[in-house]
Structure 1
Amino acid sequence: MKKLLLITVFTLAGCATSAVNPDLARVAPKDRVFTSDARSENTGSVTVIRDSGMVGGGCFATVFIDGERAAKLDPSEKTTFNVKEGEHILGASLEGRGLCSSGAARQEREFNINSGDNKYYRIFTDQNGNMDIKPTTLSR
C-alpha cells in the first residue's frame, strides 16, 4: 500500500508545470498578442511567462489585462505588455476545445505599476489542472 501511495504521489508531482526563466522562454508570436501599447513616460512593463509542462499543454493560456483579452500563450512562451501607471487586473484562463474549454474560472490578480517598473508574472497549472497566475522573481 505504501508503494502505491508513493508511486501516485510521484506521478502527480510530475504532472505539475515547471517555472521557466524569462531569458529562456520563447516570445509569443505576434498573431497571438492582441495589444500593442508603446512604452512611454507614464508606463511600466509587465512580462507574463507560461510554465513548461504537460498539464494543460494542449491548450492556450489566455492572458487578460483589465478584463480584455491580451494574448494567448503556449507552454514556455512569454510576452511583455506596456501598461499605464496605476492599478490593473491581470488574469489567465485556459482556451481551446474539448478539455481546454472545461469552464474553469479565470484567475485574476491585482497589481500596481509605476512608470519605469518591470514586473514579472508566471502562469502555472497544478497537478489538478487548476491554472493560476502569480508574481515571480525568477527574472532577478
Structure 2
Amino acid sequence: MPEQPFSVGDGVPGKAIERITMRISTYLLLLVTLAGCATTPVTFTNAQPVPNDRVYAHQDEAESTLLVTRDNGFVGGGCKLDLFIDGERSATFGAGESAAFYVPAGDRILAVKAVGICGPGSPYTEQAISVSKGKKLRLRIFIGAGGYGITQTTI
C-alpha cells in the first residue's frame, strides 16, 4: 500500500487546518477592527443637537462661534466625550451630536476626554485654535487609530 503524505491518525492535517483557520480568523478580526476604528463625519446641520442638560458653558453671545460636531461610528459610539474650552467643561457629546459655543476672539485651547465607562485611562486630547472676531469656526470630534481628537473641518 503506498504511503500517504499525511494519515488521519497522526493529527497533522488537523493541526495544519487549525493553524490556517486561526491565521484567517486573526486577519479577519484585524481587518474588521481597523475598518471600524474610523468614524464618519456628520455635518453640523444633520447632527442631532446635544441635549440642553449636557451643555454646560459658553452659551452667552460672544465675538465668535464654535460649531462642534461629533462624528458617527460604531467604535466608541456608546461612549460620551466631554469637550473642554480653555479648561472649562463645556458639553458632553454623544455620537452624531452637535452644539454651538460662543467665545471671545483669539487663541483657545480645546480638549476632548472620554467619560463614564470609557473614561478611565483614556487620553486627554488637546488642540490649539485661533478664532477671528465675528467668525464661525467648524470643528469635529472624531475617533481614529490614535484615539479621540478634535480638528477644524469644512463640513
Matches within 5 A, 1:55-94: 55-94=75-114
Which is richer in helix? 2
The higher relative CO (CA closer than 8 Å, separation ≥ 6) is in 1
User: Identity percentage over the alignment?
Assistant: 35
Who is 2:40 aligned against?
18
Who is 2:129 aligned against?
111
Q: CA RMSD in A?
A: 2.0
Cα pair 1:13 1:127 within 8 Å, conserved: no
Cα distance change on mapping 1:24 and 1:93 into 2, 3 Å: same
Matched, 1:45 2:65: yes
| Unpaired stretches in structure 2, ≥5 consecutive residues | 1-19
- Match 1:102 to one of 110, 120, 135: 120
Query: Which structure would you say has the larger Rg?
Result: 2
Matched, 1:134 2:151: yes
Corresponding letter in the other structure for 2:150: I
Question: TM-score under structure 1 normalisation?
Answer: 0.85
Which is richer in strand? 1
Give the distance between the partners of 1:55 and 1:14, measured in 2 at CA: 6
Give the distance between the partners of 1:29 and 1:37, measured in 2 at CA: 13
Report deviation, 1:3: 6.1
Cα distance change on mapping 1:36 and 1:68 into 2, 3 Å: closer
Give the distance between the partners of 1:18 and 1:120, measured in 2 at CA: 16
* Count of matched residue positions in the alignment of Structure 1 and Structure 2: 133
